[in-house]
């Protein structure tokens, strides 16, 4: 008889601070554990290897952007970018079309 692995929830990271790879990994782990998924199941559903998923959760700087976006999309996590300039001004090079 094979026993299912127990998923232990993690604390939600502070989302009011700038995101780096470590914090992004913490949020991915929080999201995965909050929906009760093992890392093996999440990796399989997201179409990445268990090691790649673990690397995302560990916040490794060498993880490919494609892998990060696959994982975030699979877990239903939206990621957007915002530019916060200290002087509050923008110039033409700041605009995205």
Q: Does residue 16 lie within any of the structural domains? A: yes
- Give the domain range for residue 51: 1-78
Tell me the CA distances in angstroms from 52 to 1, 23, 49, 64, 71, one per residue in order: 29, 17, 5, 9, 10
- Could you report the per-residue pLDDT of 53-88, keeping only the tens digit for each? 999 999 999 999 999 999 999 999 887 777 766 655
Q: Indicate the number of domains in the chain.
A: 1
- Could you report the per-residue pLDDT of 2-36, keeping only the tens digit for each? 556 778 777 777 767 777 899 999 999 999 999 99
Alpha carbons 75 and 5: distance in angstroms, whole number: 19
pTM over 0.85: no
Residue 36: give its domain's CATH number.
1.10.260.40
Q: Does residue 92 lie within any of the structural domains? A: no
């Amino acid at each position: 008889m094979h026993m299912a692995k127990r998923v232990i929830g993690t604390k939600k990271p502070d989302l009011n601070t700038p995101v780096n790879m470590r914090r992004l990994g913490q949020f991915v782990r929080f999201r995965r554990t909050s929906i009760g998924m093992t890392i093996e199941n999440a990796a399989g559903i997201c179409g990445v290897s268990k090691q790649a998923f673990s690397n995302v959760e560990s916040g490794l700087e060498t993880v490919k952007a494609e892998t990060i976006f696959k994982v975030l999309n699979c877990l239903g996590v939206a990621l957007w970018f915002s530019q916060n300039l200290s002087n509050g001004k923008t110039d033409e090079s700041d605009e995205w079309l």
